[in-house]
Amino acid sequence: MPAPTEPARRPRGALVAVRVVVPVVFALSLWYLFTNVIRFGYIVSTSMEPTLLVGDYYIVRLHAYTAQRPPQRGDVIVFVAADGDPYVKRVIGLSGERFLVFGGSVWLDGRWLPEPYLKERPGLAPPVAVTVPAGSVYVMGDNRNFSADSRDAGPVPLEQIMGRVIRIVWPSDRMRVMEPIAYSP
């Protein structure tokens, strides 16, 4: 009867790589992802209803905008306000644009801006002419009658924008990707 052969042994270095290096690389990758690429947020007000409801958790893509890819009309953004708190609002006006706001409705380029995401028809208020300064955006909540936004605090400088909301992740029945709004010219 032939002598049994010994099983091949792995080199000790491979075992160290599997047990130590791989978990460390994985942990560092997660740390980088959650500190430099995305963040989670939580909705605490009704100002973005019906798009985002109180209690919704969302993911923000940090540094989503560059000089070559600035915020677009319809993007839902997170920005840091003067009080240091993060706010979630929708981009309505872009750098250098001029338009009128009637209550919460927007008259832009000779027509009403189509806004299918609004919770309800905005209340009546005198028209206000808006010119968005260079390097800023004009933001409003989707629940216009109950939103503190650029109508109150003025345009948001681009450097205050943390990123763009890309997905609702909780509750599970509301999980979805936040698709950009396509406005026709």
Average pLDDT taken over every residue of the chain? 86
Higher pLDDT, 74 or 18: 74
Positive or negative torsion for Cα 165, 43, 112, 152: negative
* For residue 126, pLDDT beyond 90: no
The pLDDT of residue 12 is: 67
The pLDDT of residue 181 is: 79
Report the share of the chain in percent with pLDDT over 90: 46
The pLDDT of residue 57 is: 96
The predicted model gives 66-72 an average pLDDT of: 87
C-alpha distances in angstroms, 17 versus 11, 14, 26, 29? Answer: 10, 5, 12, 16
The predicted model gives 72-84 an average pLDDT of: 92
CA-nearest of 182, 161, 178 to 169 is 178
Task: Quote the CA–CA distance of 33 and 56 in Å, as a whole number.
Answer: 21
Q: Could you tell me where the DSSP H helices lie in the chain?
A: 12-16, 22-32, 150-153
The pLDDT of residue 82 is: 85
Task: Quote the CA–CA distance of 80 and 130 in Å, as a whole number.
Answer: 22
Token pair for 77: 């953004």
Task: Give the residue numbers marked as catalytic.
Answer: 47, 89
Go through 127-149 and write b for each residue having 16 or more CB atoms within 10 A of its CB, e for each that does not: eeebebeeebbbbbbbbbeebeb
